[in-house]
Structure 1
Amino acid sequence: MQVPARIGGRPVSADEWIEVLSPFDGTPVARVPALGAEHVAEAVAAASAALARNDFPQYRRAEVLERAAELLAERTEEFAVTIAREAGKPIRDARAETARCVDTLRFSAVEARKLGGEVIPMDASASGAGRLGFAMRHPIGVVAAISPFNFPLNLVAHKLGPAVAAGCPVVLKPAELTPVSAIRLVDLLVEAGLPADWISVVTGTGRDAGTPLATHPDVALVTFTGSVPVGRRIQDAAPRKRVLLELGSNAPVIVEPDADLDRVVAGIRQGGFSYAGQSCISTQRVLVHVDIYDKLLHEIRTAVGTLRVGDPLDEDTEVGPLISEAAAIRVEEWLAAARDAGAEVSGGERHGTTITPAVVADPPRDLAVYRGEVFGPVVTVTPYTNLEEAIVLANDSDFGLQAGVFTANLAAALKAARELDFGGVLINQVPTFRVDQQPYGGLRDAGNTREGPAYAVQEMTELRFVMVSA
């Protein structure tokens, strides 16, 4: 099946095509055109022209987003199957992603409705007396959106929804491994009433399409979700643009001795292994008080051993494939290095693109499986002696996206909330939890922005001061 890209409201093909294959068994899903710099330039020109028309007011933007949410809710299964096929995400998780995307569109519609400014008290100074002053939000300009493979629908919506709400036309470059969900979402937005040239989709590689898009002089803002090296390269290549980065993590969870261990185990079983751990906030580093370390390690291993690995379209599958065999091989190598260093590893057997869920007991702190972002079905379990040590261990990371703490002690919870150096601290929850209206983002190599429609809209607009003198 050939799925064309979209530039300025028209379908676009190319001489060369990218094969989109199922990560599970390699079967063809679709073919999309391999576009390049000339197509990017055309798409940016179309977006600039749409912006210049200034004919898409707030109420219409809200109506489009509201209608798109309604249409998507009616087509949950269709979109979920697309996600499962191209991303290898278990169908139950793909349905959950689609439902979250409905929420993201609805929250974006709310922001379109209420986007406004503020009155400035000019009479508060003698020089301002007798004047009227106010500040209003103004679209920043053309937005370049570069999205990842792991949430090919909802993370696209987290870029497109706020941009539409803010009044910014978009050129979208979806991940070449999972572009179909993104194209279908844009088609749905157009069906909902979005001007056909408001969002262009350029499919292609990062080198051929992503770099020309991020560096195009008529792009005002780049929003990127993906790896740390690519995000930093974009930031360096576009120093005069606003660059919003949502990057990586090796999310920790601290388990105090008074925690509800059944709740902890259930959370880690889900948070560490859903979508084979391929989430920026997948639970990775489990830090456990020494008093309960042996007991909890045993319970985690037992629970993880019950996870069903297999075909993402099977209703019983809980852990599907990694996105590619290369990704699976890398995780396998990291686990082998942990074994060689003396860590006890349960699970972690590779079969093509799938890896059986793995638990690594007390690995050396310099190993990639502990310090890096595994992005695979792996958790490490490390003992600590007191909460102060646990906070130091958690903060000892290049990343700072989200952290979790399980405790029944309010003072301990508040101490962790104050001292954990992360964009989000979740009490009695694994760090994998996210709602789409929260301010989501991190520190250090986790990124430099906050997503969630209310916060992304602020990033995608400029505050313009207006003064009227009598």
Structure 2
Amino acid sequence: MTTAPEAPAKDAAAAAVVPSYVRDSWWTPASGTDSTARGAGAEVRDASTGELLAVVNADGLDLAGMVEYGRTVGQAELGKFTIHERALKLKELAQFLNGHREELYELSYKTGATKIDSMVDIDGGIGVLFTFGSKGRRELPNTNVIVEGPMETLSRDGSFVGEHIYTRIPGVAVQINAFNFPVWGMLEKFAPAFVAGVPTIVKPATPTGYVTEAMVRLMVASGILPAGSIQLISGSARSLLDELDYRDLVSFTGSASTANLLKSHDNVVHGGVRFTSETDSLNAAILGPDAVKGTPEFDAFIKSVVTEMTVKAGQKCTAIRRTIVPAELVDDVVAAIGARVTERVVVGDPRAEGVTMGALASVDQLNDVRDAVQSLVDAGGRIAFGSLDAPEVVTASGEKAVVADGAFMSPIVLTWEDALAPALHGTEAFGPVSSVVGYSSLKEAVNLAAMGSGSLVASVCTNDPSTAQYLVTEIAAHHGRVLVLNREDAKTSTGHGSPVPHLVHGGPGRAGGGEELGGVRSVKHHMQRTAVQGSPNMLTAVTGVWHTGADRNLADPADPSTHPFRKSLETLRIGDAMRSELREVSLEEITKFANETGDTFYAHTDAEAARAAGVFPGIVAHGYLLVSWAAGLFVSPEPGPVLLNYGLENLRFLKPVPAGDSIRVTLTAKEITPRVTDEYGEVRWDAVLTNQDDELIANYDVLTLVAKVWPGQQAPQHTVGQAL
């Protein structure tokens, strides 16, 4: 065993200062009005070599000015775009950043991250931008008001109604991030805030904040983001919460102790600052009784545990800290983990060929993890695999040595005689460390998992459906996410420790109680839900969505050009409508439809059985026959702006229609969503079927694609209010 030479010293005063991005300009203490020595501040070192890389110093930074700039310039500039337009900017930004990943990888290596680690962080972060760029356009309206849920009728005559809407919060989103994911940790918060239209102030952790700064620099250099969209604090921001109020939001990732300190700030407790956190989490993985050695589930479980111990050197808030297995399998599991680590894990400088696990982020972090492991040992844990001694690692030159200034650590597996030891379920060693503990029954496994007092994620590994059903339903309330792993998804699963932007990332209790990501849920997290009450016409004006009872602009049957299907998006307006003539329903047509479709359900073919059922007056028309007739009543058959029908939603049949009755359809333009990048948009139509007595028969939404312009049409003159 050899010892690698120490890295050449560098004077802190000569080291570069990691800049902040403030009011759309780059800033360091030397460029501010309160000049500070360049060498002051926290030192940042290469995690593998100990080389001094930079200093981080935010002394003199105008935090109040940053907040005000976000609330004014950032809000105004982001508000010039719709949700769809902002989502498209995210997609454009992701495409730009994809071309700059290699330069970010080079920086990421200095944090101790391997190429795979860096891909999880950098590619994963860019992938979040792509996801929200897509979901923002597919699942949200092309406006800045989101309607949630159906309209509630609050008066008998329908003149007073209410519903819920979302609008963006009027302040800034302050995002305080942990050191382990300097890119993904920022982008997973930035993306939903940007789609919502809320400006971001990023505060990364000091040890790896220089990687965040490089990403922000690229984002700014792209020229894609509106002014004030993002600001960056490199260094301490202790008084930042002093500048916030109820208009603002703080999203924190880090230790529970720091989260509790921030949550106790007067502006959070009494000032209404919105606060969400994602904190310490002693996540669990449970091996089912059926998943014995030799099964695909056992192999998948071992692979998952080792992956979570070694990716990012175990520095993941989602890593498996507690490996809960049948008591009789503890020795098999420990041996299998040790064998896989020995066979596949190479610890060293991530720039060296063949290295699969790099250093921890800093020597301070290494010391913290070692101290945590020692406290676990003192509390009854036993190191069954690995060692706290400084390991011999692969250096950048390819040689093996103990690197005195490197933050390297061997993977460690602990076992416990006392499965209920408080330290096992209460102390997190935030590194390549996991404890294996045995259970004697599924109920005991559930209790052990719950002793983490709330976690971000748990895995259940079994091929027995009843075991999966019991474990998942019993532990779900203690976790933000549960992965069920078996032979069917072992190869396709994103893994225990990989949050995906489509689903919630967060957890109850000790995990902080927050919900980051989660698709459009996380966009709405940056918005205020408000109950709006008024007349149908007023709610139509507020939301841009036609409400039942609001005015309609009915087409003139004598003038085909007024039919709403003859109007392009350039001429179509919310509330444009047509009302058809009555169409009589005959027994012959019902019988013919039944015979031709094979739908010979008794209500359409047997009058005696239909009446005996007590819900039909006799033979009645098929619901789908009525919907088909309705299309014939409202469709304008000639080629025109309506390009195609791509579906129906919310279809309900409310009253049976017997032979001899008649139906008519009233079709109203309910919602118009132009597609920013296409020559057409989506139009949602309110379709209502009534009978000859104006009784409601059925209602549903018709979804169509409509051209933005159509030859020979000219947009009418209208006011802004009318355009809604």
TM over 0.5: yes
> Does residue 130 of the first structure (1) align with residue 159 of the second (2)?
yes
Q: Distance in 2 between matches of 1:33 and 1:128?
A: 64
Q: How does 1:280-319 map to 2 (within 5 A)?
A: 280-306=317-343, 307-319=345-357
Q: CA deviation at 1:247?
A: 0.6
2:257 to 206, 221, 229: 229
> Does residue 412 of the first structure (1) align with residue 467 of the second (2)?
yes
1:115 to 140, 149, 159: 140
Say if 1:387 and 1:438 are closer, same or farther in 2 by CA, change over 3 A: same
SS in structure 1 of the partner of residue 227 of structure 2: coil
Stretch of structure 1 that moved more, 194-203 or 154-163: 194-203
Q: How does 1:139-150 map to 2 (within 5 A)?
A: 139-140=168-169, 141-150=171-180
Q: Distance in 1 between matches of 2:208 and 2:223?
A: 23
> Does residue 440 of the first structure (1) align with residue 471 of the second (2)?
no
For 1:319, give the aligned amino acid: M
For 1:447, give the aligned amino acid: G
Q: In terms of Rg, which structure is larger? A: 2
Say if 2:154 and 2:161, in contact at 8 Å, map to a contact too.
no
Counterpart for residue 567 of structure 2:
none
Say if 1:112 and 1:166, in contact at 8 Å, map to a contact too.
no
2:480 to 413, 420, 423: 423
Counterpart for residue 598 of structure 2:
none
SS in structure 1 of the partner of residue 208 of structure 2: coil
- Deviations for 1:308-365, whole angstroms, at most 9, x for unmatched residues? 1110222422222222223222322333344454624321334252111111122544
Q: CA deviation at 1:134?
A: 4.9
Counterpart for residue 248 of structure 1:
280
Say if 1:273 and 1:282, in contact at 8 Å, map to a contact too.
no
SS in structure 1 of the partner of residue 332 of structure 2: helix
Say if 2:175 and 2:252, in contact at 8 Å, map to a contact too.
yes
Q: CA deviation at 1:422?
A: 1.2
> Does residue 39 of the first structure (1) align with residue 93 of the second (2)?
no
More helix by share: 1
SS in structure 1 of the partner of residue 174 of structure 2: strand
Say if 2:372 and 2:427, in contact at 8 Å, map to a contact too.
no
For 1:230, give the aligned amino acid: T
Q: How does 1:326-341 map to 2 (within 5 A)?
A: 326-340=364-378, 341=380
> Does residue 355 of the first structure (1) align with residue 427 of the second (2)?
no
Q: Distance in 1 between matches of 2:154 and 2:48?
A: 66
- Deviations for 1:31-79, whole angstroms, at most 9, x for unmatched residues? 444245x521111111011214532433431222111110122222222
Say if 1:442 and 1:28 are closer, same or farther in 2 by CA, change over 3 A: same
Q: Distance in 1 between matches of 2:155 and 2:449?
A: 52
Say if 2:206 and 2:234, in contact at 8 Å, map to a contact too.
yes
Say if 1:222 and 1:241, in contact at 8 Å, map to a contact too.
yes
1:77 to 102, 105, 111: 102
Q: Distance in 2 between matches of 1:448 and 1:440?
A: 10
Q: CA deviation at 1:387?
A: 1.1
1:170 to 200, 206, 218: 200
For 2:212, give the aligned amino acid: A
For 1:463, give the aligned amino acid: R
> Does residue 156 of the first structure (1) align with residue 186 of the second (2)?
yes
Q: Distance in 2 between matches of 1:333 and 1:58?
A: 48
Say if 1:137 and 1:35 are closer, same or farther in 2 by CA, change over 3 A: farther
- Deviations for 1:267-310, whole angstroms, at most 9, x for unmatched residues? 11111221111111111111111232222221112112231111
For 2:387, give the aligned amino acid: G
Stretch of structure 1 that moved more, 94-103 or 15-24: 15-24
Stretch of structure 1 that moved more, 111-120 or 16-25: 111-120
For 2:21, give the aligned amino acid: R
Say if 1:132 and 1:468, in contact at 8 Å, map to a contact too.
yes
Counterpart for residue 66 of structure 1:
91
Stretch of structure 1 that moved more, 385-394 or 338-347: 338-347
Stretch of structure 1 that moved more, 336-345 or 373-382: 336-345
> Does residue 213 of the first structure (1) align with residue 268 of the second (2)?
no
1:345 to 360, 370, 384: 384
Q: CA deviation at 1:122?
A: 5.2
For 2:415, give the aligned amino acid: A
Q: Distance in 2 between matches of 1:119 and 1:423?
A: 23
Counterpart for residue 523 of structure 2:
457
Stretch of structure 1 that moved more, 392-401 or 359-368: 359-368
Say if 1:47 and 1:142, in contact at 8 Å, map to a contact too.
yes
> Does residue 4 of the first structure (1) align with residue 9 of the second (2)?
no
- Deviations for 1:213-254, whole angstroms, at most 9, x for unmatched residues? 233234611000000001111111122211010111111111
Larger RCO (CA under 8 A, 6+ residues apart): 1
Q: Structure 2: 5+ residue runs without aligned partners?
A: 1-15, 30-35, 292-296, 391-405, 538-724
Q: CA deviation at 1:178?
A: 1.3
Say if 2:383 and 2:412, in contact at 8 Å, map to a contact too.
no
For 1:348, give the aligned amino acid: S
Stretch of structure 1 that moved more, 357-366 or 446-455: 357-366
> Does residue 103 of the first structure (1) align with residue 127 of the second (2)?
yes
SS in structure 2 of the partner of residue 70 of structure 1: helix
Say if 1:315 and 1:99 are closer, same or farther in 2 by CA, change over 3 A: farther
For 1:377, give the aligned amino acid: P
RMSD: 2.3
SS in structure 1 of the partner of residue 505 of structure 2: coil
Say if 1:134 and 1:310 are closer, same or farther in 2 by CA, change over 3 A: same
For 1:257, give the aligned amino acid: P
Say if 1:47 and 1:197, in contact at 8 Å, map to a contact too.
yes
SS in structure 1 of the partner of residue 511 of structure 2: coil
Q: Distance in 2 between matches of 1:120 and 1:269?
A: 44
For 1:197, give the aligned amino acid: G
Say if 2:163 and 2:532, in contact at 8 Å, map to a contact too.
yes
Counterpart for residue 187 of structure 1:
217
Stretch of structure 1 that moved more, 318-327 or 364-373: 364-373
> Does residue 388 of the first structure (1) align with residue 443 of the second (2)?
yes
> Does residue 263 of the first structure (1) align with residue 300 of the second (2)?
yes
SS in structure 2 of the partner of residue 244 of structure 1: strand
Q: Distance in 1 between matches of 2:219 and 2:157?
A: 45
Q: CA deviation at 1:386?
A: 1.5
Stretch of structure 1 that moved more, 427-436 or 445-454: 427-436
Say if 1:13 and 1:330 are closer, same or farther in 2 by CA, change over 3 A: closer
Aligned residues: 464
Q: Distance in 1 between matches of 2:94 and 2:330?
A: 45
For 2:484, give the aligned amino acid: I
SS in structure 2 of the partner of residue 445 of structure 1: helix
For 1:374, give the aligned amino acid: A
Say if 1:315 and 1:212 are closer, same or farther in 2 by CA, change over 3 A: farther
Runs of 4+ in 1 over 4 A off after TM superposition: 119-123, 131-134, 337-340
Q: Distance in 2 between matches of 1:128 and 1:186?
A: 55
Q: Structure 1: 5+ residue runs without aligned partners?
A: none
Q: Distance in 2 between matches of 1:78 and 1:146?
A: 24
Q: Distance in 2 between matches of 1:35 and 1:203?
A: 10
Say if 1:408 and 1:148 are closer, same or farther in 2 by CA, change over 3 A: same
Say if 1:332 and 1:350, in contact at 8 Å, map to a contact too.
no
Say if 1:400 and 1:445, in contact at 8 Å, map to a contact too.
yes
Q: CA deviation at 1:457?
A: 1.1
1:378 to 433, 447, 456: 433
SS in structure 2 of the partner of residue 224 of structure 1: strand
Stretch of structure 1 that moved more, 67-76 or 309-318: 309-318
SS in structure 1 of the partner of residue 211 of structure 2: helix
Q: Distance in 2 between matches of 1:293 and 1:379?
A: 13
